[in-house]
A and B are shown apart, each in its own frame.
Chain A
Amino acid sequence: MNSQIAVLDGVTKSYNGTEVLHPTDLGFGRGVIGLLGPNGAGKSTMLRLLATAMPPSSGRIVVSGHLVTGGIAERTAARRRLSYLPQEVGIPRRMMSFGFLDYIAVLKEWKDRDTRHREVIRVLGLVGLADRRTKRVSALSGGQRRRLALAQALMGDPDLVVLDEPTTGLDPEQRASLRGILSSYANRGSVLLATHQTEDVSALCDRVIILDEGRIRFDGTVAELIRLAEGQVWVGAEANTRALSSWRTGTGEIRSLGGVPAPGSRPADVAVEDAYLLVRSEITGATKIGEVR
């Protein structure tokens, strides 16, 4: 287990008696790990626990060799090695972009002013906000605010980068550039991201974890996930009423997923999205997607 950067060991989390994360054992090594699941599946809870933003109800969490569920000194040591982007960051509106990052950098113990300011400028450049450094948060667009929040998670050289929906609010170019940045962090450490974008997972992730109602439903490589759906995705000319889900694609053909293939249709290449939908339908026992949940 030496190569594990973060470990969950029998970790649970309950709010007011409701268990939102059932006992979970997971280890995270180097690379990008994608967390998929519907809203309320427990993705954010798991990320918050790993980021030491809240304590678990039970179990042990280890980050960079430090037991974060132990004493405050261990937790502080772990916090020096991780960075975190929460799902929602309500940056105070009167703060300046630079001032906000400067504040977070101080919280991250960047003591020397000049080094700290260089780092702030560097991450502002990474998220494409170098030209917005003197702007107040109230003058930034929603997407820019999101990128500003993301910038603080890119500071320094963390072992564990925990990102809750980092690609929301990014346009395709920005998303592509973020992928490049994240893969460079993943060479050195573990990057965990929760997302609704299955393209992010196929483009970026070495490993996928699907969560539902606080339980792990799938844990494997992207290739393994796709293999689950092989032979269950077809394209054809005719509508398919007996599929789990079917839709008309941009080419005018009908793509269908699960169930019984329509006559005359042929097998299609499986995308992560297809596999994810199939895994979800198995969990919920749905015979039609859309009836899910």
Chain B
Amino acid sequence: MSTPTDSDLLRNIAAGDEAALRQLYERHAGWLLLRLKRRCGNPDLVAGALQDTFVAVWKSAGRYRGEGDVAAWLWGISIRRLVSALRGRPAADPLGDEVISAATPLVHSAEDELLLGVEYGDVGWALRTLPPELRATVQATVIDGLTAKEAAKLLGLPQGTVKSRLRVAKVQLRERLMPARDGRI
């Protein structure tokens, strides 16, 4: 008997298999919990978001389109559940379609690619030189794949502030990366 893949599990969950949900939980709940804790200091909100994530998976596993990583899909749901918990909406609120479809895997943009591949590379250095408030914005948008609106809720900032900080951060990153690049070529 081979181990089922995450997609197999989602298919079984969609067919109403509770044991598959348990298996998916055992694989992913741990790291999701750790990562959510890095985004929010309130343990109750984090626990609520994680619970809602798997309840949402149970109810809408059939909507997973089978593209991309299940892990990224799960993280997309989790972070959005956290955002909506921060918004002060009741935690039991069923997950709307728009949230599920927005939670499809992150598109790996050029910036992401740089972040993914290198641990001690130029981008790391460049990110480290960003002022803290810009870093949080970059994390919420580029790394967590949130929209400016969602990032604003997560960070408790006006949407306009998030947008302008992101602009500034991108300019700074580009400036700091360009010379390094040129030097190498």
Is A–B contact present in the complex under a CB 8 A cutoff?
A: yes
- Interface positions of A (Cβ within 8 A of B): 130-135
> Do residues A134 and B16 form an inter-chain contact, with CB atoms below 8 A?
yes
Q: 8 tightest CB-CB pairs across the interface, nearest first?
A: A131-B18, A131-B19, A133-B18, A134-B18, A134-B16, A132-B18, A130-B18, A131-B22
Bound-complex Cα distance A134 to B61 (A): 15
Q: How many residues of B contact A (CB 8 A)?
A: 5
**Most B CB within 10 A of own CB, among A131, A132, A133, A135:** A131
Bound-complex Cα distance A133 to B18 (A): 8
Bound-complex Cα distance A187 to B16 (A): 38
- Interface positions of B (Cβ within 8 A of A): 16-19, 22
Nearest CB of chain A from residue B64's CB, rounded to whole Å:
19
Bound-complex Cα distance A129 to B22 (A): 14
* Residues of chain A lying within 8 A (CB to CB) of residue B16: 134-135
Please name 10 pairs of A and B residues whose Cβ atoms are closer than 8 Å in the assembled complex, sorted by A.
Answer: A130-B18, A131-B17, A131-B18, A131-B19, A131-B22, A132-B18, A133-B18, A134-B16, A134-B18, A135-B16
Q: Which residue of A lies closest to B21 (CB)?
A: A131
Bound-complex Cα distance A134 to B19 (A): 11
Nearest CB of chain B from residue A135's CB, rounded to whole Å:
8
* Residues of chain A lying within 8 A (CB to CB) of residue B22: 131
A sample of 6 more A-B contacts (CB under 8 A), given A131-B17, A131-B19, A134-B16, is A130-B18, A131-B22, A132-B18, A133-B18, A134-B18, A135-B16
Nearest CB of chain A from residue B59's CB, rounded to whole Å:
11
* Residues of chain B lying within 8 A (CB to CB) of residue A134: 16, 18
* Residues of chain B lying within 8 A (CB to CB) of residue A133: 18
Nearest CB of chain B from residue A7's CB, rounded to whole Å:
43
* Residues of chain B lying within 8 A (CB to CB) of residue A130: 18
Nearest CB of chain A from residue B94's CB, rounded to whole Å:
16
Nearest CB of chain B from residue A158's CB, rounded to whole Å:
28
Nearest CB of chain B from residue A230's CB, rounded to whole Å:
49
Bound-complex Cα distance A133 to B19 (A): 10
Nearest CB of chain B from residue A209's CB, rounded to whole Å:
41
Nearest CB of chain B from residue A139's CB, rounded to whole Å:
9
Bound-complex Cα distance A130 to B18 (A): 8
Q: Which residue of A lies closest to B20 (CB)?
A: A131
Nearest CB of chain B from residue A132's CB, rounded to whole Å:
7
Bound-complex Cα distance A167 to B150 (A): 55
Nearest CB of chain B from residue A98's CB, rounded to whole Å:
11
Nearest CB of chain A from residue B4's CB, rounded to whole Å:
15
* Residues of chain B lying within 8 A (CB to CB) of residue A135: 16
Nearest CB of chain B from residue A293's CB, rounded to whole Å:
46
Bound-complex Cα distance A134 to B17 (A): 9
Q: Which residue of B lies closest to A133 (CB)?
A: B18
* Residues of chain A lying within 8 A (CB to CB) of residue B19: 131
Bound-complex Cα distance A132 to B22 (A): 12
* Residues of chain B lying within 8 A (CB to CB) of residue A132: 18
Q: Which residue of B lies closest to A132 (CB)?
A: B18
Q: Which residue of A lies closest to B18 (CB)?
A: A131
Nearest CB of chain B from residue A97's CB, rounded to whole Å:
10
Bound-complex Cα distance A273 to B133 (A): 80
Bound-complex Cα distance A130 to B19 (A): 9
Nearest CB of chain A from residue B174's CB, rounded to whole Å:
51
* Residues of chain A lying within 8 A (CB to CB) of residue B18: 130-134
Bound-complex Cα distance A110 to B58 (A): 27
Q: Which residue of B lies closest to A139 (CB)?
A: B16
**Most A CB within 10 A of own CB, among B17, B18, B19:** B18
Q: Which residue of A lies closest to B19 (CB)?
A: A131
* Residues of chain A lying within 8 A (CB to CB) of residue B17: 131
Bound-complex Cα distance A130 to B16 (A): 13
Bound-complex Cα distance A135 to B19 (A): 12
Nearest CB of chain A from residue B31's CB, rounded to whole Å:
24
Nearest CB of chain A from residue B28's CB, rounded to whole Å:
19
Bound-complex Cα distance A207 to B18 (A): 40
Bound-complex Cα distance A52 to B17 (A): 39
Bound-complex Cα distance A133 to B22 (A): 13
Bound-complex Cα distance A130 to B25 (A): 15
Bound-complex Cα distance A133 to B16 (A): 10
